[in-house]
Chain A
């Protein structure tokens, strides 16, 4: 696969974005009850880029991801202490923000592949049907486009009416990505999308992420350093709820500034 070479200068200072930024997180503090899960996070994500979130287990990667489309609204005891998250300039935690619209714009792919127990077709059409789209031709078109975008079309085009549970793990994960794409989001959040996949399926999903970068902004959580290095433009390293270092991926892996980052990316963390 070709190597994405990010040319932008690193942007530790979110106030002076060089390219158009789509996500801005400012002084964000987040609690689960007494647990201070995210501590004073400042982070900016560029349009049409892939940002990897890395860090040891329990450092708050998933939490941050779930804050970006307000999935944490469902969690009891969860609360934001201070700070804000801007997407396209809007503070998504403002009172007048329509959460449903937000979630349409910020899609999410979960760690465990979780197709609905419905047919492949219905899985992908679901996001459109709930918006009231009934036209068969529109749905057909969307299903085909999304499956093609998720590089799954050729494998399933003859069995769109089969139950999605019959697909292999890797196919299911790509189906979930296709399902998220169907709603036409601008940002795609992926939480360890490859953790349950074998190397072949993993590389397929990685290729997919590459091609999706053209149209989407992707934030991906991963425990796999090679994967982060392969797919992302920027990498953020978290530790104990803090953003320790955020930089162009190459810099994080080749020339980390923080000793903790260095220890982690080189596998000497302990």
Chain B
């Protein structure tokens, strides 16, 4: 610092770095790393764009399809179907009563002939009942025959609009001509069901009596509901347009996902969504105590040797391929659960024994296994981020270790723990292989009326359906697009969960 700086000693001019194809190396490096980041962003954007383009174009297509369905009169067929289905249900419960009766008689040690004799009266009623359905069934077949061709024609999309309109009008006219038949059938149905009810035999034993009473009530309800079918029929407007909202709503809130390759398919999300949520719910309920508990234990109570043993073990679960976990679920776990449910010691549980080996519970348990490492590792990290000084201070105030953990450490790490749980949920809801293999794949809305037993119902999930059906659909078809739509719902759901998790995480960082 003795001399004043001279012009040429103070080298402020940037020295030339090495050049390569006209770029200097600094810039090239920057381009390389920046380029990688950009590629990641672009790929994500492309995926999102593609997903939404394919998925969202489902709705106009579905809207058009629903309109064809309505105008060709198929919608009317489905109304009749509904009534028929309802009648069949009634019929089945009657058959069930007889099954129970026979079971009870067998248990009493009666011979075949005696049983046949004792249940003869009921058998008569069953025959008579099945006869009652015949006109309804025939009518249903007739209307379907009237409408089916028109619907197929509309779907083929070969005719011009005017001709098609002509076809529609003809079909509807033909349908309207049958209305009086339908009314007549229903009227007769009321009379004959009442007649049959009057002829019902008396039963012995409270179980049978209760069932018979239920059946009677059910049948009376059916009779009462017949005019509503009639009313819906009158209100039915075959030319009313289907709005886009109607199409969206019938996707989001539709209760049926039925793929019918030559007839009409309905794409209702609810069975899949509820299935996914049920499985995820089970998994998370099991994974939270396991993951968070293990994290608290390793971070706060375990000896160092124990922690060094537990951590890699739990993290190792991540390394098991999900297909292996699924395989284990099918071959070992599912059967074990069913075997357990059939033990007489557990008979007091209302939902035992279970019939299905593969169900939401089986899948949920295995998904819990997969969520535990995520929840464990991130919760442990959150606990670790709590400043050590809090622990010392608490102990210095005369708290014991347990109090310190539960009152200071865990509450301080809580937002981090919640975000760990959310990320665990994100992982579970997007998991495919295990649910496909273990959830039972029955497309139906789980029946909450069964109480806790609902967890033992086979379900299908959003991820499962995409994996299962995507391979078979024709590209660009409505089915294909519907699957993309399910993908969008899944995407939005996971995005939302991750977003909340990240918010909580940041919140915690700031609080540090």
Residues of A bordering B, CB below 8 Å:
69, 71, 74, 100-101, 103-104, 107-108, 110, 112, 114, 116-118, 126-127, 129-131, 165, 176, 179-180, 183
Q: How many angstroms between the C-alpha atoms of A179 and B390 in the bound complex?
A: 13
Q: Mark B27-58, 1 if CB is under 8 A from A, else 0.
A: 00000000000000000000000000000000
Q: How many chain B residues have a CB neighbour from A under 8 Å?
A: 18
Which chain B residues lie closer than 8 Å to A117 at the CB level? 412, 511
Known contacts: A117-B511, A130-B403. The answer to whether A69 contacts B396 by CB under 8 A is yes
Q: 8 A-B Cβ contacts within 8 A?
A: A71-B395, A107-B396, A116-B412, A130-B398, A165-B511, A176-B393, A179-B397, A183-B398
B465 to chain A, nearest CB (A): 45
B177 adjacent to chain A (CB < 8 Å): no
Main secondary structure of the interface of B (DSSP, over half): helix
From the candidates A103, A114, A129, A180, name the one contacting B395 in the complex (CB within 8 A): A103
Q: Is B400's beta carbon under 8 Å from chain A?
A: yes
| Known contacts A130-B403, A130-B407, A114 near B393 by CB under 8 Å | yes
- In the complex, what residue of chain A is closest to B391 when comparing beta carbons? A74
Given A71, A103, A114, A165, which contacts B390 in the complex, CB threshold below 8 Å? A114
- Which residues does chain B contribute within 8 Å of A183, judged by CB atoms? 397-398
Chain B residues near A74: list those with CB within 8 A. Answer: 392, 395
B467 within 8 A of A: no
Docked-complex contact A114 and B399, CB < 8 angstroms:
no
Question: Which residues of B395-430 have CB atoms within 8 Å of chain A's CB atoms?
Answer: 395-400, 403, 407-408, 411-412
CB distance from B410 to the nearest CB of A (A): 12
Are A126 and B394 touching (Cβ within 8 A)?
Answer: yes
Additional pairs, 16, CB under 8 Å, beyond known A108-B393, A114-B390, A130-B397: A71-B396, A74-B392, A100-B399, A101-B398, A103-B396, A104-B397, A110-B392, A114-B393, A116-B394, A116-B408, A126-B394, A126-B399, A126-B407, A130-B399, A130-B403, A131-B398
Interfacial residues, chain B to chain A (CB-CB below 8 A): 387, 389-390, 392-400, 403, 407-408, 411-412, 511
Min CB gap A38→B, angstroms = 19
Cα distance, A176 to B395, chains bound together (Å): 14
A175 to chain B, nearest CB (A): 12
Closest CB pairs A-B (n = 10): A104-B398, A108-B396, A127-B397, A130-B399, A103-B398, A114-B389, A130-B403, A100-B398, A114-B393, A183-B398
Query: Distance (Å) between the CB of A13 and the closest chain B CB?
Result: 31
Tell me which residues across on chain B come within 8 A of A129, comparing CB atoms.
407
Contact assessment for A107 and B395 in the assembled complex, using a CB-CB cutoff below 8 Å: no
Complex alpha-carbon distance, A131 and B394, angstroms = 12
Contacts of A116 in B (CB 8 A): 390, 393-394, 408, 412
Q: Are B397 and A71 in contact (CB under 8 A)?
A: no
B48 to chain A, nearest CB (A): 38
List, in ascending order, chain B residues with CB within 8 A of A112's CB: 389
- Complex contact B387–A114 (CB within 8 A): yes
Chain A nearest Cβ from B365, distance in angstroms: 36
* Most chain A CB within a 10 A radius of its CB, from B390, B397, B399: B397
Q: Which of A103, A107, A127, A130 has the most CB of B within 10 A?
A: A130
Chain A residues lying within 8 Å of B394, measured Cβ to Cβ, are 116, 126
CB distance from A163 to the nearest CB of B (A): 9
Please pick, from A101, A104, A110, A165, the residue contacting B393 in the complex, using a CB distance under 8 A.
A110
**A101 contacts across to B, CB distance below 8 A:** 398
Chain A residue, CB-CB nearest to B398: A104
Most interface-central of B392, B395, B407, B411 (chain A CB within 10 A)? B395
Instruction: Please give, as numbers and ranges, the residues of chain A lying within 8 Å of B407 by CB-CB distance.
Output: 126, 129-130
Residue pair B400, A100 in contact (C-beta under 8 Å): yes
Contacts of B511 in A (CB 8 A): 117, 165
Q: Which residues of B contact A179 (CB under 8 A)?
A: 397
Which residues does chain B contribute within 8 Å of A130, judged by CB atoms?
Answer: 397-400, 403, 407
A82–B396 alpha-carbon span in the complex (Å): 24
Instruction: Kindly provide the distance from the CB of B390 to the nearest chain A CB, expressed in whole angstroms.
Output: 6
Cα separation A192 to B411 with both chains bound (whole Å): 28
- In the complex, what residues of A have CB within 8 A of residue B389's CB? 110, 112, 114
The docked-state distance in angstroms from the alpha carbon of A116 to that of B390 is: 7
| A71 close to B412 (CB less than 8 A) | no
